[in-house]
Structures are given as C-alpha cells and as structure tokens.
C-alpha cells in the first residue's frame, strides 16, 4: 500500500506531536537551567536508517534538523528492545554530537517484533567535567580538556541499567546528581516517543508506519527542493571570518562556494577555508552537517512557514568540507564553542542566498553571541559563585520591507534575557543601564537592528568577568544592496567618566568594588540605500532618539530644522551624497560582490591578507598534516605581517618554502 | 421584582443570552445577532427579543452580568490611549528589548510586538532602588517634573510608572505619582506597584500599560452600557466578567480593565464546570470550537487550571487567569491542499466576513464549516437557530475543488479534512497533556461552541478519552458561565525570601491581603452575597531556580507559621508538576496570592421529563461515517427525555449546534439536560 496525501497529513501531525510530547516530558522533568530555561535540548524520531522523520517545532533547539545518525546506530548493533545508548563525542559519533557537554541518548523502538524507529534526544548538561565548571573554555586546545568523552555505548541493555557505565559517567562530572536527574528525564522522554510510535503501529499497521515514516522524509525533501529551485542555477562565493581565535589575534576564515543545479540540488563547497585551530572553535562536522547550512533552514522556513521539519530538508544539500579544516575538524580538536562556526557559516550562506535571490534575504546580523558571566566571591567565606549576567547578541540585519530586530539575531532569536529584577536579586551587582545603542544599526532603506548595551557595577572585591563568544569588534556585520555595515561591538571600564578605559575584547577580567563594566554588542547591517529611506522615517528615528541628527545628515542625507525636515536642504544633501557614494563604490576593493558593505575593519585586514593570499595560504597549509597546520599558520602570519605590503601569491609561496625547513616541517 | 438573572456573552457573530428564572428554575437560552461596531445596540435588541419571546420584563431583571471584548479588541486593533511611560534611568528600552527573544526566530520577517508606548514617550527618571527595596539613589522630583512636561507636550493622555524593584517598595512610584498629579491634574496615572506588584519589570510594566491603554475605551463603553440599561428600565447594576473566571462591577472594571482581557474564554470554562458538576463530573477538559479557533482548558477537581503566563496580542499577561490554550482550527479555518498534494487546515481563517463559502457572503475559499455541511453534519434549516441560511451548493463547489486536488470525491475530501483536523487537534492537545503530566484518560471532554460537539467524539477517539459530556446549550455556555460566576478578585504581595525566614512576613502579608480583599468585596458584592471564601496560594521555587510554581496554601499554615507544611506542599507540587522534588534543598517564597470569592446564587437546572429506552429519532440524514455517506438517525435535542439513550453513528440537532455521535459511542440523557456520551467499544 502507498501512503495517500491525507494519511501523510495525518502522520505528519501525529509524529510531530510524538516528538514534541517527548520534548515536553523532557523539559517538564529536567532539573537544570540549560534545559528548563534556555531550551538547549531536543528530541526526534529517527528511521532505522538514521534519518529524522519527525522533529519538534513547538519547543526545543531547532539547529539539529538533518543530523546523520547512521554511523552511531551501526556501531551499536545489534539493538534489542529497551536498549538505551549514550554518547557525547563529536568524532566517535561523526557529528551527531557537536561538543562534549551534550548527552545524546538513543532508544530503539520495536513493534510486532521489528525495529521500526529510534527515539533520540540530547540535552546540554550544565557540567561534563573537564578543565572548568561548565566544561566550555574557549582557549581549550584539545578535546580531552573539555570533559569526559563518551564514545557510543549502551547505558541500558534490554532494560537493564549498566551500573558500570552509569558510574563511569557520573564519577567524571561535577554535578552527578543533577546530571542523573536530567538523564532520567531524557529516558522518560524516550519512553513517551516509543509509546507513541507503538500506538501508531496499532492504529495504522506496521507497513503503513514504515512507509509513512519514509514518505514524510520524501515529502519534506520535495518541498525543500521546490523552494531551493526558486534560486537560479549558478555558482556563488563568499567568505568571512571569526576575527580571532581567543588564543591569538589571527582571524579564522571560512570560504564557501555554492552551486545550485536544476531539481533543487545545492552543493556547498568549503574548500579554501582555514585549517582547524588550537582553540575551542572547531566544528566536528564529519564532512556534512546541518550546522553548515543553518541559513538554508532559515530560508526554507521563511519562504514556507508550514514546511514539514525533518531530515528530508537536508537531502538536497551536498557538502565538501576538507578534513582538518575549521568546518570539518579531526580528532582530538577542541569543539566547545563550535556554535561560533554555526553562526559564521549562517552569515556566509545568507550572503550567498542574498546574491542568488535578491530582494528576499536580510543583511547580516550581529553574528555573535557573548555569554557575559560573573564569578563573585563571598567576602566572608571566600566561596565563589558564577552567574550569567545576560546573553549579549546584537541586532539582526535590515530586511527587505522592514528594519532589523533590535538586540537579537535569527540564529539565536529564541534566547531570552533575565529580568534585571531577578538578576539583581540573585547576583550582587547593579545594572546601571540595559538599552539599545543609538546609531548602531547599519544605515539603510531598512536599517539594521540596534546593538544592545549593558553597564553594571560590582560590589564585591575581585569579581571575575568572562565574556565567551565576543566577536565583531573589528569586522562589522555587512550591509546589503546599498545598506551600510552595522556598528562593531565594544567594551569599556568606567564609561563616560574621567577614568574611562576602552577594554577591547574581554577574555577574563577582574573588577574591584565600584567599578563599572560596559559591554556593547554589534549592530545589524543595513538593507538598501539609506538615501532611499523616507525622510519621515529618519525624522521618527531622530525623535525617538535612535538616530542622532549628525547620523541623519551624514548617513541618510536628512537635514532637520526646528520644524522638522528641511526639505530643500535634504534634497541637496542627498544629491551630494549620491554623487559621492558613486565615486566611493567605484573605488571600493572588489574583495566581495558589490552588493555588500563589509565595513572598514575587514577591508583593513584584507589589504594585507587579500583573498588571494588567504586562498593560497589555505592551499599551502593543507599540504601539512592536520596537527601541524595551526602552528604553521601562526608562523606564516608573523612573516606576512613583517612584510612591507601584501605579498603576491608567488611571494607567499616563496615565504612558505623558506619557512618550512626553519620550522622543521615538511609538506606531505 | 428581581425575578430574572441574565448572563450575556458578545461574540463576533452572535450575542448570546442565558436567562435564569428564579421562580420557575427555568434556564432560557437566546441568541441575537451582534451589531458590529456597536455591541450595546445588539445587546439591547437581544433584551427586546427576550422580552417579546419569553416575557422577561426589563424591570424584572435583578442581576445582569456580561462579558465584554472591548478591552481585548482595543489591544488587538491597537486603538488605545496615547500613553507615556516613566522608567528608571538606564532602562528606556524596556519595551523594545522585552524579554529579548522573538516569537518565531526561524522566520526572517518576524519580530517582537511593536511597543504600545513608542520610545519618544518613554522617559527616564533619576531614581534607583536596590533589589532589597532600599534606596540606592533618591527620586529626583525635577526629573519627574521634566518628564511630565515632556509627556504633556507629546500629547500623552495617561502616564504609566514602572520603576525597578517597585514591587518591593512602591515609595518612588507613589512619590512620582503624587508629583504627576500635582503637575498635571486630571491625567490618568497607573503605577506598576499598584496594579499587580510582582517581580519581572517587563511583564509588570505590560500589565500596567495594557490597563491604562484600554481604560478610556472600556470606560466609554461601560458608561454607554449603564445608560442604555437604565433607559431600558433594567434596575440591576451591570456586572462584568473577568479573566480569572469571576465577576466585578462596572465600576471595578473601569479601574481594572485589564482584568477583562480574557474573560470570554474564562466564562466558557466556568460554564462548563457548572454544567459538569450537575452530573457529578469534576475532572474535565473543555473543548470550545468556534469560528476562528479551537480552545481547551484543563479542570481538575472542579477547579480550572490557573495560568500566570497567558499572552494577548503577543504581550505577556502576568496575572492569574483561567488558562485557555488554542489548539487549532475553528469553523472558519481555511482548507489548503499544498503543492505536494498534502492537505492542511489553517492557520488562515476566512473569519465571519466573508466567512465560509456556505455562508453565501462571497467567500470562495473552502473552510472547515463547508466540509461539515457537505459531510451532512449540519442541518441547513436550524444552523444558528435558522438565522444563517447555509448554501449547500456553494459549499459543495468549494469542496469539489478540494476533492479534485486530492484526487478523490467529495466524501473522500470531507473524510480527509476531518481526519487532518482531528489529527491536528490531537497533536496540540496531547502536547498540552504531556507538558502538564496529565493522563487524559481520567478526564471527561466537555465540548461547546458551534463546532465543539461535532468533533468531540473524533478527538476523544483519537486521544483515548472515553467520556464526552455535551451541555444542554453548548452554543450559549459562555453566557451561562457568566451567570454562574462568583464575585472574585485576586491580590498579590511579593515576599521574595527563603521560606525559613518568611514566618512573620508571611502572616503580615496575609493580614494585609485579606484586609484589602474584604474591603474590595464590600464595595463590589451585590447586597445579598452572604458567604465568601478565601483561597491562598504562593509562588515558590527552589533557591537558584528562575521559575516558580503555584502552590495552594491553607490560611492556618500561614497564620500559624507552619512553614514545614508549606514546604511539604511545595515539594509535593513540584513533584506533580516536574515529576521530581528534592526535600532537602532550600526553598524560596516569591509571592503570596489571595483570592476572595463572594458566592453568587447559581442557576439550577430544571429537571427534564423522564423517559426510558432508546430515544426515537426525528428523522434520518445522510452523513459521512467512515469514508462513505450513510443514512444516520437524527435526534432533536429538545425532544430527548431524561434517561433515554442513543447510539452512534447519529446526529443530535439543536438550535446552537449539532452533536455527532460517532460509531461505537452511546449517549445517555441526564435529568439536568446534559448528554453523556460514552465509548463502548474501542
């Protein structure tokens, strides 16, 4: 029998609900904050072949659609009813897990004696052991520092808890009781999913469920291909950077060439991206991973909000991600902050879609998320307690038809803040201000979302501040189609006082009593020519205090008099700016397609590290063994910086050939 | 004189009346078309109709209660007052940042709701309290005066004040308010510490802002209502339903109009509880399927589940209300066949204008109601009491379109629509149950609204429920709910301290709340409300958690300082809500809440005449059962006698709805008029 379209609609609702019910059970009975408050977990139903056929939409993390489970499933065969597997290692699971703090659990679902599906769930645990509480340290340079490594194994065999496995899991973490509580919540959730699938088999029969689960994936794939087919056939390229890798000031470059062919085929080629690094930003993608095409899911869900969500969505995508690169790191590189690469590639693919589908795609958002945290010492006991102050993200890009969102971006738009009142009740600090930063959204017909600013004063001695994930202090979020790049982020000590000191990026900072730290995020890029923004909208922004009169004049060409807009002066100013802008556009560096404004910081970097230099460098570095590339990159960077100007490709090759024997390296 | 008690619910299409005759014990249901843009007009016509058809003289109306949608519509249509907001310096963007997240982050064109007060009318005031309520920086009177001048210059009609930590110490807000009143006499001022003083500045500000925003229009409407009732000779003071399921006077509603936002859905739940209790049913799930959506609520042991996290127009309403969740499509929801040939219902709706194709008002898109009609579920003669003529040909045409896209016939298309609609309702309802840890098999489904009884058996079959209770007048249940509601109001006091330190503060808070509550009741209750009761609850959490749970408390525990019992109640509740508890962990008391209920007389149900055996059908109609049309018995609800039984498949027609009794279900008529359907085979 084949599944008719009505049954497909019914099964789509039923299995999505099953995945969501598991999610609600998990969230309800979990113990720790990441799960209950930040929704850092998800659930799914998986085919025996290892593809998700149902995914929760109403709750849970949305970035995990399209993971390939088959490598993990195969390793643990044979499966028996009531087995439950556990794993967290990104390398051993080929990208099912993406960093060690995530526990992934799998349970086979049998009906009428046959394996019909797997239930899967992951949770971000508040601690997985390792070098720091919480396990994530940006400067970690090896996986082994980031916590206990769990290669796929069975926690339950045929319903029997493997006590030795449990003991091994829990004796290596800082909060064993809480983790065990959370794992039990996951186990309950897997049971819910299992019962729902078995119920479906009772209702519709084994054959119908087996056909239905595959048909749902085909259905999602069909819808995705139809949407991708709105792109013309062609090839587009883009590159962008993490500004640095925390342990050095070297940017990390990701390059992407995308090719779309008839039938909705999309090929993403990351060749030319930088090698993996000696810090925790590596993505262990296994060569193909949803984290590398997150913007595609954004595009699909924007073009068709009712599209079914399952592993079929990633089927139209083929990927080439060189082994040992930042987007396909090899064992045992550190991966704790791999989400930075997810965000970076989100922006890069977004830029590719912007070229392929003009008029649909927003400008770049902040492209970073800083988790601002304090560790405060109780002066009486000396004991320290750590708290997150706020997630600091930054504005989204301006959009065709509307301005960007203030203070958050699409890839992290589900993240909530903490009310200042709750925060101050928990943590002995005083928030001086928490507001948007005027003039920070990139100018545009539709301006970028504004940056956020938080200023707080500390009351306890030796308060330690960490700010994991800070980026875009130099390289601005790009503007699109004439829109300007958004503002960079910034950090100050005692701002707007005589003692004010600009801090730049914060890795770790110690504050004394009465000191005030001010952190500002980047703003989103603008969309469309700011000179086309109606003067009335600019005036409204000036009246709201979001745009200064200076910026109105400089960026938008709007001159305000005492009674509002000075129409004649505005017309003159706009004409002058248009003429100037055309001159500027023709003289701009051609490193990026003309539709993008990358701002000054990136242009400055690319004066020396031209795309040609970076491409050649990537090619040369990849002739070395994976483990040697990062060291070689550090060394060649110093040499390039010591040159009087940007080297040509030939000069760079000569530098390279000279350098290798000095370092005792040889290319393979 | 005061012979009749009347409850009214104003819907988009109809104004429903439920009139209780205290002399005969008879309950009269009545429907009258709503007059768009002038609800009082429609209400007056309905009263005329009741007078003519049932001889209810306006002068004999001793109690008049009604639900108003003015507040919610003002908010949704954004037609409220021009406000200014005063905030603590440094927090001007409270309304822009909100809680940071956006409702649909995957959607590139989405965003947070537009603030109700634009940034140019948000003013920063120099003042600061610390988390414990102590003064960090004194209030600057100058900065208030400057803000008042600027707010007036900007044309503000009302000023809302929300300062950080004002829920702990209202002094700065009150001082600022005094300055505003001096500087700008006559301007409305709302303080966040006075409306609903709970922690969380954004949510608290929103409650106050929404209150001030809707206040002028609600006041205008209520003034008009009072005038027209007086003119018509109704001696009763009008009462207004509120989101907590209680009622208050029109005067009370003028001061706290935000309390009426969710009163419509709440009244339905109160009505369902009232009718179910007559049949001894206390654990129920209500299913209200109207024109635009299907809504459910969970009722346990006769008490509706309270929520403090509802949203209206995407704004959080942090006050305790009866929790009602939308789970999907209503009668106006559009039937879509997508490019891949797959069927979906909604989320778009044809609304009531033009409405489904069968309304014959120019609608060309197939809606759920069209499928019901083509499937034989509706009686075109009696739909909405015969006040809306249904055009079967138009419904047939749009459903044929759906059928051809699906590659099936009309019956196949209706079957598909019903299966998909049911699957969607199942999906959402099962998730709500999972999120609450509820086993739905222990509950009775109580359907109402125009289409609830049509789909109830199917939904019950799908989710594994075995009992469905159809009220006597499912179409006017909200009006009956209004008539059954008590005078009730909630009060909150923030404590925010470890439970072990709460002993004296708790007793003090209780005394304050109780005094406030009694004073309120004395002013609000009609003469003759003899009894009242007080319920207490606390919002509690484990130290370090950032979310609270609602724990019912006994007054004795609070007054007697029996902290152990409070702790045990919390651990037990935590276990129920989250499936685990840690009795050794320290607990925190965040708020104490007190609700006072002045008991109002409840309309009873006149006993039906008794009959026995199978109820004789009044006729037969071709109806979709399974995948084909079959001739099924049709019973007239008004003909059915207590004790009679019916068996599915079949239809029960009545003026305000049709009940579909699915195959495998039997029905029994109760003395009180309820129809209990039970599944006899799986």
Could you give the CA distance from residue A323 to residue A270 in angstroms, rounded to a whole number? 10
Tell me, yes or no, whether A506 lies in a domain.
Answer: yes
Decide if B258 contacts B192 (C-beta within 8 A): no
CA–CA distances in Å: residue B53 to residues A315, B8, B49, B236: 66, 17, 6, 21
pLDDT at res. A635: 95
Given A9, A20, A31, which is nearest B344 (Cβ)?
A9
Residues A16-68: tens digit of each pLDDT:
999 999 999 998 888 877 787 778 899 999 999 999 999 999 888 899 999 99
Q: Tell me the two tokens of residue A350.
A: 């977004």
Are A177 and A90 found together in one domain? yes
CA angle, residues B546, B549, B552, in degrees to nearest 5: 150
Could you give the CA distance from residue A347 to residue A351 in angstroms, rounded to a whole number? 6
Could you give the CA distance from residue B539 to residue B197 in angstroms, rounded to a whole number? 13
**Percent of chain A clearing pLDDT 90 (strictly above):** 84
Residues of A in contact with B199 (CB under 8 A): 419, 421-422, 425
Pick out chain B residues at pLDDT < 50: none
Are A521 and A647 found together in one domain? no
Are A575 and A494 found together in one domain? yes
3-class DSSP state for residue B111? coil
Could you give the CA distance from residue B668 to residue B655 in angstroms, rounded to a whole number? 20
Could you give the CA distance from residue A448 to residue A399 in angstroms, rounded to a whole number? 8
Could you give the CA distance from residue B327 to residue B425 in angstroms, rounded to a whole number? 6
Decide if B26 contacts B34 (C-beta within 8 A): no
Are A491 and A551 found together in one domain? yes
Owner of token pair 């999907």: B328
pLDDT at res. A585: 58
Question: Nearest 10 degrees: CA dihedral of A610, A616, A619, A625?
Answer: -90
In chain A, which residue's Cα lies nearest the Cα of B437? A25
Tell me, yes or no, whether A245 lies in a domain.
Answer: no
- Name the minimum distance, in Å, from the CA of B88 to any CA of chain A: 9
Q: Do A417 and B578 touch (CB under 8 A)?
A: no
Are A616 and A586 found together in one domain? no
Q: Do A6 and B343 touch (CB under 8 A)?
A: yes
Tell me, yes or no, whether A127 lies in a domain.
Answer: yes
Residues of B in contact with A545 (CB under 8 A): 92, 119-120
Are A634 and A579 found together in one domain? no
Q: Is the peptide bond before A332 cis (omega within 30 degrees of 0)?
A: yes
Which pLDDT band holds residue A429 (cuts at 50, 70, 90)? very high
β partners of residue B21: B4, B26
What H or E segment, with its residue span, contains residue B84?
A: strand B83-88
Residues of B in contact with A390 (CB under 8 A): 100
Which residue, A591, A625, A655, sits at the end of a domain? A591
Counted domains in chain A? 3
Q: How many CB atoms lie within 10 A of CB A606?
A: 22
Could you give the CA distance from residue A499 to residue A495 in angstroms, rounded to a whole number? 8
Q: Of chain A residues 305-324, which have a CB less than 8 A from chain B?
A: 305-306
In chain A, which residue's Cα lies nearest the Cα of B344? A9
Tell me, yes or no, whether A252 lies in a domain.
Answer: no
Q: Is the pTM of this model over 0.90?
A: yes
pLDDT for residue A588 is more than 60? no
- Which residues span the domain enclosing A115? 5-223
pLDDT at res. A1: 46
> Which residue in A13, A23, A304 has the most chain B C-beta atoms within 10 A of its own C-beta, making it the best mutation to test that interface?
A13
Decide if A560 contacts A549 (C-beta within 8 A): yes
Q: Tell me the two tokens of residue A189.
A: 């959730």
- Kindly state the DSSP code that residue B579 receives in the 8-state scheme: S
pLDDT for residue A587 is more than 50? no
What H or E segment, with its residue span, contains residue A377?
A: strand A370-377
pLDDT at res. B682: 64
Please report the ipTM that was assigned to this predicted complex: 0.94
A21 HSE (CA, 13 A, CB side): 28
Given A31, A414, A434, which is nearest B90 (Cβ)?
A434
3-class DSSP state for residue B604? coil
Could you give the CA distance from residue A532 to residue A157 in angstroms, rounded to a whole number? 66
Q: Do B105 and A16 touch (CB under 8 A)?
A: no
Positive or negative CA dihedral for A471, A476, A478, A479? positive
Residues of A in contact with B120 (CB under 8 A): 543-545
Could you give the CA distance from residue A179 to residue A519 in angstroms, rounded to a whole number? 33
DSSP letters for A405-473: PTT--GGGTT-----HHHHHHHSSEEEEEEEEETT-SPPSSBPPPPEEEEEEEE-STTEEEEEET---S
Q: Do B106 and A301 touch (CB under 8 A)?
A: yes
Which residue, A591, A618, A635, sits at the end of a domain? A591
DSSP letters for B27-80: EEEEEEE--TT-HHHHHHHHHHHHHHHH---GGGEEEEEEE--HHHHHHHHT--
Could you give the CA distance from residue B47 to residue B62 in angstroms, rounded to a whole number? 14
In chain B, which residue's Cα lies nearest the Cα of A221? B340
Decide if A103 contacts A176 (C-beta within 8 A): no
Given B119, B131, B406, which is nearest A425 (Cβ)?
B131
Q: Tell me the two tokens of residue A655.
A: 């530098």
Is the CB of A413 inside 8 Å of chain B's CB atoms?
yes
pLDDT at res. B14: 80
Given B93, B105, B544, which is nearest A435 (Cβ)?
B93
pLDDT at res. A92: 98
Residues 6+ apart with CB under 8 A from A230: A303, A357
CA–CA distances in Å: residue B499 to residues A612, B540, B542, B566, B589: 66, 9, 10, 9, 5
pLDDT at res. B437: 84
E strands within A88-219? 102-111, 114-124, 153-157, 160-161
Burial B526-556 (b: 16+ CB within 10 A, else e): eeebeebebbbbbbbbbeebeebbbbebeee
Are A421 and A515 found together in one domain? yes
Are A556 and A614 found together in one domain? no
Q: Do A302 and B108 touch (CB under 8 A)?
A: yes
Could you give the CA distance from residue A327 to residue B69 in angstroms, rounded to a whole number? 55
Burial B250-285 (b: 16+ CB within 10 A, else e): bebbbebbbbbbbbbbbbbbbbbbbbbbbbebeebb
Are A486 and A613 found together in one domain? no
Which segments of A30-76 does DSSP mark as H helices, in order?
33-36, 70-75
Q: Do A185 and B579 touch (CB under 8 A)?
A: yes
Of B122, B509, B87, which Cα lies nearest the Cα of A421? B87
- Name the minimum distance, in Å, from the CA of A138 to any CA of chain B: 25
Is the CB of A452 inside 8 Å of chain B's CB atoms?
yes
Between strands B628-636 and B650-654, the pairing is parallel
β partners of residue B31: B16
Could you give the CA distance from residue B253 to residue B248 in angstroms, rounded to a whole number? 7
Lowest mean pLDDT among A251-260, A476-485, A578-587, B241-250: A578-587
* SS3 sequence of B314-327: CEEECCCEECCEEE
Tell me, yes or no, whether A49 lies in a domain.
Answer: yes
Are A41 and A82 found together in one domain? yes
Owner of token pair 């993996």: A276
Q: How many CB atoms lie within 10 A of CB A461?
A: 12
Q: Do B97 and A420 touch (CB under 8 A)?
A: no
Q: Tell me the two tokens of residue B317.
A: 């309403």
Given A5, A36, A299, which is nearest B343 (Cβ)?
A5
Tell me, yes or no, whether A639 lies in a domain.
Answer: yes
Radius of gyration of chain B (CA): 26
Residues 6+ apart with CB under 8 A from A181: A30, A31, A32, B580
What domains does chain B contain, in order, with CATH numbers?
Answer: 4-74+217-260 (3.30.420.40), 80-212 (3.40.50), 282-329+421-483 (3.30.420.40), 333-408 (no CATH), 486-598 (3.30.1490), 619-679 (no CATH)
What H or E segment, with its residue span, contains residue A363?
A: none
Which residue, A207, A223, A239, sits at the end of a domain? A223
Tell me, yes or no, whether A383 lies in a domain.
Answer: yes
Is the CB of A437 inside 8 Å of chain B's CB atoms?
no
Are A561 and A642 found together in one domain? no
Are A388 and A456 found together in one domain? yes
Tell me, yes or no, whether A385 lies in a domain.
Answer: yes
Residues B69-85: tens digit of each pLDDT:
899 989 999 999 999 99
Q: Is the peptide bond before B354 cis (omega within 30 degrees of 0)?
A: yes
Decide if B588 contacts B543 (C-beta within 8 A): yes
Is the CB of A175 inside 8 Å of chain B's CB atoms?
no
Residues A490-519: tens digit of each pLDDT:
999 999 999 999 999 987 899 999 999 999
In total, the C-beta contacts within 8 angstroms joining chain A to chain B are: 205
* SS3 sequence of B399-447: HHHHHHHHCCCHHHHHHHHHHHHHHHHHHHHHHHHHHHCCCHHHCEEEE
Q: Do B120 and A545 touch (CB under 8 A)?
A: yes
């Amino acid at each position: 029998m084949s599944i008719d379209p009505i049954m497909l609609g019914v099964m789509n609702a039923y299995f999505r609900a099953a995945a969501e019910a598991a999610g609600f059970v998990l969230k309800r009975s979990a113990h720790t904050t990441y799960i209950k408050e930040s929704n850092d977990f998800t659930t799914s139903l998986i085919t025996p072949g290892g593809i998700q056929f149902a995914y929760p939409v109403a709750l849970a993390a949305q970035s995990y659609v399209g993971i390939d489970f088959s490598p993990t499933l195969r390793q643990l065969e044979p499966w028996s009813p009531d087995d439950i597997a556990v794993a967290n290692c990104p390398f051993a699971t080929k990208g099912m897990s993406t960093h060690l703090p995530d526990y992934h659990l799998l349970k086979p679902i049998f009906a009428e004696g046959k394996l019909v599906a797997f239930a899967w769930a992951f949770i971000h645990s508040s601690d997985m052991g390792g070098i720091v509480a919480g396990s994530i340290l940006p400067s970690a340079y090896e996986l082994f520092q980031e916590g206990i490594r769990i290669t796929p194994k069975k926690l339950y065999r045929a319903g029997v808890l493997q006590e030795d496995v449990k003991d091994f899991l829990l004796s290596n973490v800082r909060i064993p009781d809480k983790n065990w509580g959370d794992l039990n919540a996951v186990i309950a959730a897997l049971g819910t999913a299992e019962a729902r699938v078995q119920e479906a088999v009772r209702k519709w029969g084994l054959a119908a469920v087996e056909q239905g689960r595959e048909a749902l994936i085909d259905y999602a794939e069909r819808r995705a291909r139809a949407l991708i087919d709105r792109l013309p056939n062609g090839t587009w390229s883009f590159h962008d950077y993490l500004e640095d890798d925390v342990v050095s000031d070297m940017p990390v470059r990701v390059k992407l060439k995308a090719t779309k062919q008839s039938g909705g085929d999309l090929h993403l080629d990351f060749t030319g991206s930088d090698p993996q690094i000696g810090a925790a930003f590596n993505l262990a993608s296994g060569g193909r991973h949803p984290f590398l095409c997150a913007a595609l899911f954004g595009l699909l869900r924007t073009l068709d909000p009712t599209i079914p969500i399952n592993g079929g969505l990633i089927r139209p995508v083929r990927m080439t991600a060189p082994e040992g690169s930042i987007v396909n790191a090899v064992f045992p590189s550190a991966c704790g902050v791999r989400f930075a690469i997810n965000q970076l590639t989100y922006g890069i693919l977004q830029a590719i879609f912007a070229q392929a589908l003009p008029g649909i795609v927003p400008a770049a958002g902040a492209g970073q998320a800083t988790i601002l945290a304090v560790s405060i010492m109780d002066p009486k006991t000396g004991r320290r307690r750590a708290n997150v102050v706020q997630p600091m993200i930054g504005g989204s890009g301006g959009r065709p038809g509307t301005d960007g969102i203030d203070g958050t971006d699409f890839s992290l738009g589900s993240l909530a803040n903490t009310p200042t009142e709750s925060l101050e009740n928990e943590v002995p600090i005083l928030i001086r201000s928490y507001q948007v930063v005027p003039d920070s959204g990139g100018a545009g017909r539709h301006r970028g979302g504004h940056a956020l600013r938080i200023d707080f004063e500390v009351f306890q001695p030796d308060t330690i501040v960490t700010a994991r994930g800070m980026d875009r202090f130099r390289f601005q979020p790009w503007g699109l189609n004439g829109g300007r790049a958004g503002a960079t982020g910034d950090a100050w000590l005692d701002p707007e006082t005589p003692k004010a000191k600009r801090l730049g990026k914060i890795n770790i900072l110690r504050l004394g009593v009465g000191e005030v730290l001010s952190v500002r995020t980047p703003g989103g890029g603008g969309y469309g020519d700011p000179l086309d923004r109606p003067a009335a909208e600019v005036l409204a922004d000036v009246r709201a205090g979001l745009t200064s009169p200076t910026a109105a004049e400089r960026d938008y060409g709007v001159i305000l008099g005492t009674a509002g807009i000075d129409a004649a002066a505005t017309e003159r100013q706009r004409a002058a700016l248009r003429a100037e802008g055309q001159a500027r556009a023709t003289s701009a560096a051609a490193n990026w397609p003309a539709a993008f404004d990358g701002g000054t910081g990136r242009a400055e970097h690319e004066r020396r590290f031209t795309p040609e230099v970076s491409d050649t460098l990537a090619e040369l570095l990849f002739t070395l063994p994976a483990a040697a590339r990062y060291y070689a990159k550090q060394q060649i960077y110093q040499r390039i910086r010591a040159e009087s100007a940007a080297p040509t490709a030939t000069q760079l090759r000569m530098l390279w050939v000279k350098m290798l024997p000095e370092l005792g390296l040889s290319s393979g | 004189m005061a012979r009749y008690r009347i409850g009214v619910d104003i819907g988009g299409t109809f104004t429903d009346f439920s009139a209780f005759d205290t002399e005969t014990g008879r309950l009269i249901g009545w429907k009258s078309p709503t007059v768009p843009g002038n609800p009082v007009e429609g209400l007056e016509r309905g009263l005329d109709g009741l007078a003519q058809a049932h001889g209810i003289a306006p002068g004999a109306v001793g109690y008049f209660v009604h639900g108003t949608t003015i507040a919610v519509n003002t908010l949704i249509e954004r037609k409220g007052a021009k406000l200014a907001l005063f905030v603590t310096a440094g927090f001007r963007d409270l309304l822009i940042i909100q809680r940071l997240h956006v409702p649909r982050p995957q959607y590139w064109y989405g965003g947070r709701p537009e603030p109700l007060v634009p940034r140019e009318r948000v003013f920063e005031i120099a003042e600061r309290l610390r988390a414990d309520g102590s003064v960090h920086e004194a209030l600057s009177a100058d900065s208030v005066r400057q803000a008042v001048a600027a707010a007036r210059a900007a044309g503000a009609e009302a000023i809302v004040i929300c300062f950080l930590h004002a829920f702990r110490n209202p002094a700065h807000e009150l001082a600022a308010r005094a300055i505003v009143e001096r500087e700008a006499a006559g301007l409305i001022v709302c303080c966040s510490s006075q409306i609903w003083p709970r922690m969380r500045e954004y949510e608290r500000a929103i409650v106050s802002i929404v209150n001030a925003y809707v206040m002028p229009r609600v006041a205008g409407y209520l003034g008009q209502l009072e005038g027209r009732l007086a003119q018509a000779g109704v001696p009763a003071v009008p009462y207004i339903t509120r989101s907590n399921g209680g009622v208050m006077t029109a005067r009370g509603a003028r001061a706290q109009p935000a309390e009426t936002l969710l009163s419509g859905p709440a009244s339905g739940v109160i009505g369902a509880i009232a009718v179910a209790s007559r049949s001894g049913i206390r654990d129920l799930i209500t299913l209200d399927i109207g024109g635009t959506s299907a809504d459910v609520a969970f009722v346990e042991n006769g008490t509706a589940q309270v929520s403090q996290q509802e949203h209206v127009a995407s704004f959080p309403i942090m006050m305790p209300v009866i929790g009602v969740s939308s789970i999907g499509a209503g009668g106006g929801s559009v039937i879509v066949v997508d490019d891949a040939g797959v069927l979906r219902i909604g989320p778009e709706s044809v609304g009531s204008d033009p409405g489904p194709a069968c309304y014959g008002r120019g609608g060309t898109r197939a809606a759920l109601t069209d499928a019901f009609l083509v499937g034989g579920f509706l009686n075109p003669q009696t739909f909405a009491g015969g006040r809306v003529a249904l055009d079967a040909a138009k419904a047939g045409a749009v459903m044929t379109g759906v059928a051809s896209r699906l590659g099936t016939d009309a019956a196949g298309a209706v079957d598909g629509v019903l299966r998909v609609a049911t699957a969607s309702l199942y999906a959402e309802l099962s998730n709500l149950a999972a999120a609450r840890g509820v086993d739905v098999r222990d509950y009775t489904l109580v359907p109402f609204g125009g289409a609830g009884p049509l789909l109830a058996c199917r939904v019950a079959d799908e989710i594994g429920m075995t009992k469905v209770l159809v009220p006597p007048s499912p179409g006017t249940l909200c009006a009956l709910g209004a008539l059954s509601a008590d005078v009730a109001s909630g009060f909150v006091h923030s404590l925010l301290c470890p439970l072990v330190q709460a002993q004296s503060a708790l007793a003090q808070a209780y005394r304050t709340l109780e005094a406030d509550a009694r004073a309120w009741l004395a002013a609000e209750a009609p003469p003759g409300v003899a009894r009242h009761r007080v319920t207490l609850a606390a919002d509690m959490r484990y130290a370090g958690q950032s979310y609270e749970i609602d724990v019912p408390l006994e007054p004795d525990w609070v007054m007697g300082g029996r902290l152990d019992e409070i702790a045990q109640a919390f651990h037990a509740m935590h276990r129920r809500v989250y499936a685990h508890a840690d009795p050794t962990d320290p607990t925190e008391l965040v708020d104490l809440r007190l609700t006072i209920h002045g008991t109002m007389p409840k309309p009873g149900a006149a006993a039906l005449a008794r009959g026995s055996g199978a109820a004789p059908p009044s006729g037969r109609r071709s109806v979709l059962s399974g995948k084909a049309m079959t001739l099924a018995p049709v019973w007239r609800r008004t003909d059915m006698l207590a004790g009679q039984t019916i068996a599915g498949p079949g239809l029960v027609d009545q003026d305000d709805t049709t009940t579909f009794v699915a195959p495998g279900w039997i029905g029994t008529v109760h003395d009180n008029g309820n129809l209990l359907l039970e599944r006899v085979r799986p």
